[in-house]
Amino acid sequence: MDYASTRELVAALQAGTLSAAELLERSIARIERFDPELNAVVVRDFERARVAARAADAALAQGDRRPLLGVPVTVKEAFNVEGLATTWGIPGTGQPAAAEDAVLVRRLKAAGAIVIGKSNVAMQLADWQSSNPVYGTTNNPWDPGRTPGGSSGGSAAALAAGYVSLEFGSDLVGSLRVPAHFCGVFAHKPTRGLVPMRGSAPPGTPSLSADPVFDLAVVGPMARNAADLALALDVVAGPDDAEAIAYRLALPPARHAALADFRVLLLDAHPLVPTSRAVRSALRRFGDGLEGAGCRVGRSSPLLPDLSRLASLWGQLLWAQLGADMPGAEPGISHRDWIHADRVRARVAHQWRAFFQQWDLLLCPVAPTPAFAHDHGEMAARRLRIDDLEIAYQDQAPWSGIATLTGLPATVMPIGLSDDGLPVGMQVIGPYLEDRTPIAFAEAAERAFGGFVVPPGYRS
């Protein structure tokens, strides 16, 4: 039961073989047992959750069949939850408590989910580790000496440890994708704008409808299987209130259901960053498996945008946006230069449209290595070892930018373990607004080759 899927839990709740109160107590017991070592769920709301669970059981008994009724979930600390602090790990923030739920949280509650707490983050959501002066450091369930990723690291650790079956985080520089890769779980970075970001702004920032903090950022679900990602996306996606007066969401169906019908381009090397043998080997084995299943697998294409140019443009826009909110930071680029860069981004988006006419998906690494050891020194001085090479810590970012620059959807799925017994994940990048296609591929691949594996030490 600790590792049941959300769909399985919903079925049991609706059949009456499991009560919401019982399920909640299992989640609480597991957090209390394992979190002294992991430190993943750092804001707890158990008493209000117990009240909500009793209400869910009463609603279930009366035939209420909302899609997540009675299912306990946790969400990233960066999301506002009414009555709880939001700090982003920044000391001296979080008071007063949030006056209202983030849109994503409101939609979860409307679907019947029980929000039992919030999971740890990197300070200011600005690291591939989840450590901050407010809540401390989150450890990886596969190896407590390693990071679970960031900035949604607490979210991924909570899933891998079996606390909950659904989590939700945000992603600007891989903050959903890297933790999923490091912890061996699934995540989906939605198409930009598909899920409203209102209520996930820095502490003290006004909660403005249809005004995301970052042009490049998104919020989305994490789970232990692809089908639960699809369920969660259906619950939280759709226009914010200001747009909903005129627009409705109508995502197209997945291009294919059978693995053999997909056309995928597989990349295991980037021109700007080395990729470890562990990651490359896992992708190559996965590609061989796809070919054996009848899938069309390519290794190069003249339609692929120039990855070096893409990374440079992504970095230019990223640092312009980050610098806007950093006291004393250089202004970055002028508004005129930003407009020129944005026009180039529009041309890159056009290239992707041509690419996805010939290919259904791009498969590539999430990060250069599996989970690395904790390193909380000055970021500019950190180094990352990739096999026999060392690179600057911040230079591991280019794989994240491929999907982020033009807002493409990207599903991350686990594809195996390294020789060191650490999870290796893969990005499944799809066409703009065709989020169902990478999720459907991940679901088909999961059926064919397997997916999430319970970390040693968490199997009972």
Catalytic residues: 76, 151, 175
- The answer to whether 407 touches 432, Cβ cutoff 8 Å, is yes
| Closest of 192, 168, 198, 197 to residue 180, by C-alpha | 168
| Closest of 278, 186, 175, 195 to residue 236, by C-alpha | 195
Which helix (H) or strand (E) segment holds residue 75: the answer is strand 72-76
- The neighbour count for residue 61, using CB atoms within 10 Å, is 10
Rg (CA), the chain: 21
- The neighbour count for residue 167, using CB atoms within 10 Å, is 30
- Separation CA 9–CA 278 (nearest Å): 34
* 3 state SS of 239: coil
- The neighbour count for residue 331, using CB atoms within 10 Å, is 9
* HSE-up of residue 325 (Cα within 13 Å, Cβ side): 12
Q: Is the C-alpha dihedral spanning 115, 121, 126, 130 positive or negative?
A: negative
Question: What burial letters (b/e) apply to 314-329, b meaning 16+ CB within 10 Å?
Answer: bbbbbebbbeeeeeee
Helix ranges restricted to H, 187-276:
226-236, 241-244
What is residue 366's DSSP assignment? S
Which helix (H) or strand (E) segment holds residue 357: the answer is helix 335-358
**Which two three-digit tokens encode residue 345?**
């981004």
CA separation (Å) from 405 to 92, 193, 294, 358? Answer: 33, 13, 31, 21
CA separation (Å) from 125 to 11, 105, 447? Answer: 35, 19, 33
- Separation CA 100–CA 109 (nearest Å): 12
